[in-house]
Structure 1
Amino acid sequence: MTTMTTDQTYAPRPNWFARTEMWLDDKGKGAWIAAMVLGFIFFWPVGLALLAYMIWSKRMFSGKSCTKRMNRTVLSTRSTGNSAFDAYKADTLRRLEDEQSNFEAFLERLREAKDKAEFDQFMDDRAKRNETAAEA
């Protein structure tokens, strides 16, 4: 007979529904949507039930990526006990965040330049059409 000490707690294994839910949560929102679509394809009430559950549990509209980003930030600030490594890690993370913000700024400038070029081309084409219409 197995006995448990007072500091151990018994955690029952989750049922199949909870295990499936955890598995889909680990895979992300795409897995939930894929399961719902497959449910509609094979047996429409299953797809409808999954859709209702996703809306009811707020899985459809939750920003899980923000939560993951926040968890990553919390984990990255945890100390390892080695001050040299912690300083290196902090410096590297700061440098990577700077590179990411610089890259995002570059992409924004690139999008703006492309939009401006497309708009200028549109205005030139429009001016040419107006000139040819005025000559005719």
Structure 2
Amino acid sequence: MTQSALIRPAWTPATIALMVLGFMVFWPLGLAMLAYIIWGERLDAFKADVNRATDQFAGSFRKSTGGMRGTSSGNAAFDEWRDAELARLDEERRKLDEMRREFDDHMRDLRKARDRKEFDQFMAAREASQARTRKGGSVPEIDG
């Protein structure tokens, strides 16, 4: 197979230079380049094998179109119990999510109230400071 790419898994001047540069900059880069030069030809076959295995693994989940509820254990009583438990857990999850939303709303209201109180205190202090400035005719000095 004739390859004309500059960087290919072979002992070319470019790959050797990149390997040496990789070792000089950060040794794992040089090691990775060395591995690519030596085993790079097998990379396409390895990638195809990994993709095929991943597709088969994911396909096994797609066959059961409902997760655990779509699969049958072969025991009707167990399947009925499992479905009832999963429904109960779904309801508990829904309740917990609702409680979380309510708590988040409560915390947001508390933060708003605290911010409003702090802002009102700031405005009162600012108005008092401005009133003193207008009364005294000069800017008050701040000790610091």
Q: TM-score, normalised by structure 2?
A: 0.44
Q: TM-score, normalised by structure 1?
A: 0.46
Rg larger in structure: 2
Higher RCO, 1 vs 2 (CA within 8 Å, ≥6 residues apart) = 2
